[in-house]
Every structure is written in C-alpha cells, then in structure tokens.
Amino acid sequence: QKEVEQDPGPLSVPEGAIVSLNCTYSNSAFQYFMWYRQYSRKGPELLMYTYSSGNKEDGRFTAQVDKSSKYISLFIRDSQPSDSATYLCAMSASSNTGKLIFGQGTTLQVKP
Amino acid sequence: NAGVTQTPKFQVLKTGQSMTLQCAQDMNHNSMYWYRQDPGMGLRLIYYSASEGTTDKGEVPNGYNVSRLNKREFSLRLESAAPSQTSVYFCASSVDRADTEAFFGQGTRLTVV
C-alpha cells in the first residue's frame, strides 16, 4: 500500500461546479500538506500549502486537513475550464527537508 | 527568470544504453530532487540532494546514479537503460524546508526501446 492514496479519476464537471479532490495517507508523522497543479506536458506548480490540521482558503480554492482521519481535501468553487489539470497532493513529515511524498494525481476536466 | 532547466526535453534510448539527464537551477536553492512520473503512479522520488556534496536515495533509486556537481547542478545517470525506465523525469529544487515551494523543471520524456 502506498503511503499516500489519491483517486486518479478522471473527473469531469461542468463549468461553475464545486469540485472536491481528496487524498488519504497512512503515515501519522506527516505534518506538511500541499496541493500541486500540473498542466499537460508541464511541471507541477504549488497551489496550496497547509501545516497540520485545519482549513486554508485562497480565492476559489480551499484546502482542508483532518489529521485524525488522515484525510486531506481540496475544494474548487465556481470551477473554470482553466482549472482543467492534474492535481497532486504531497506531504512531508520533516520540517527541515523539502522531500515530498506525492499522491497519484487526479485529472480534472472542466467543460464549458 | 529561468528557474529549473532540464536537458534534454525528449530522448529515445535502446536497452542497455547509458545517458545523463542534466538539471540546473538559478534560485540559489540548497535542495534538489529527481522524480519520475508514470501513469497512475504520481511522482516518485528517485534521489535527492539536501546540499552540495550530499545525495540520498528516495523511493525508487535502483538503476540510477546522481551527481551534485555544484550548488546549481544535479544530474541523473542511467548506466544501462531498461524499458521499465521509460517515464517522464522531473528535476526540482527548493529551500531546505518542508513549508516552502518546490520548483519543477519542464520534464524529460524518456523512452527506452
């Protein structure tokens, strides 16, 4: 079993829909949680970062971490065709290294 | 604003051939990483370097070697390529803390036939 599990999709939604992307993990030492967005044939780019449990909001994006359930989520409100990409969750246990463990990535398509 | 630059962008190798993937960053980052990305597998860490002169194995190091040539450059070498190494390879760099962004290159698409 992988340390981080993510439903690969693909997920297809109409423009304006609310999208929920999720990851589960098994390592209770993970404290740093990120979401990266990857457009086709490009490298991933950091979208959201959260430390420990709680919520973080940035515009149309909200990241949630539930450490008791070992579950993290990314919500996208009012989804746009430009949100079509692969979304990867990533996690780290140590504060003094940038070494990340990634999920498999979920491919999202937002249809106009 | 080059960021992380990888060369080459595409490569086809025959089984048993060797090659080196090059990576350079201009952000003065201490840490550099090599990942591979396969369908349904996400990004998997091959090797990383926390600072100049140090390297450590990641999740999938077998069949690869790395060299941290200086603070800017981190190369990945395939000594005897195998079809199982067909993948997209990404180099990344970051400040050496977990709460900072990792910056990725554009990737190298490698096919081993």
pLDDT tens track for A3-26: 899 987 889 999 999 999 999 999
pLDDT value for B101: 82
Question: Is A45 an 8 Å CB contact of chain B?
Answer: yes
pLDDT value for B51: 87
Q: How would you write the pLDDT of chain B (113 residues) with one tens digit per residue?
A: 679 999 999 999 999 999 999 999 999 999 999 999 998 888 999 999 988 889 999 989 999 999 998 999 999 999 999 999 999 999 999 987 666 788 999 999 999 99
Question: Is B34 an 8 Å CB contact of chain A?
Answer: no
Among candidates B31, B44, B107 on the partner chain, residue whose Cβ is nearest the Cβ of A43 = B107
Residue pair B48/A94 in contact by the 8 Å Cβ criterion: no
Among B25, B55, B59, B99, which would you mutate to test the A interface (most chain A Cβ atoms within 10 Å of its Cβ)? B99
Cα–Cα distance, A81 to A84 (Å, whole number): 6
Residue pair B73/B61 in contact by the 8 Å Cβ criterion: no
Q: Which residues pair with B68 in a beta bridge?
A: B74
Neighbours of B17 (CB within 10 A): 14
Chain B residues whose beta carbon lies within 8 Å of the beta carbon of residue A103 = 42
pLDDT value for B2: 76
Quote the DSSP letter at residue B101.
Answer: P
Q: Is A22 helix (H, G, I), strand (E, B) or coil?
A: strand
Question: Is A103 an 8 Å CB contact of chain B?
Answer: yes
Record: contact A98-B107, CB cut-off 8 A: no
* Cα end-to-end span (Å), chain A: 37
pLDDT, tens digit, 9 for 90 and up, residues A43-92 = 999 999 888 888 999 999 999 999 999 999 999 999 999 999 999 999 98
Q: Which of A70, A60, A68, A63 is nearest to A21 (CA)?
A: A63
Q: What angle do CA A55, A61, A64 make, to 5 degrees?
A: 25
Cα–Cα distance, A34 to B23 (Å, whole number): 24
Q: Is A83 helix (H, G, I), strand (E, B) or coil?
A: helix
Is the pLDDT confidence value at A96 over 70?
no
pLDDT value for A95: 64
Chain A residues whose beta carbon lies within 8 Å of the beta carbon of residue B101 = 46, 49
Task: Please state the length of chain B.
Answer: 113
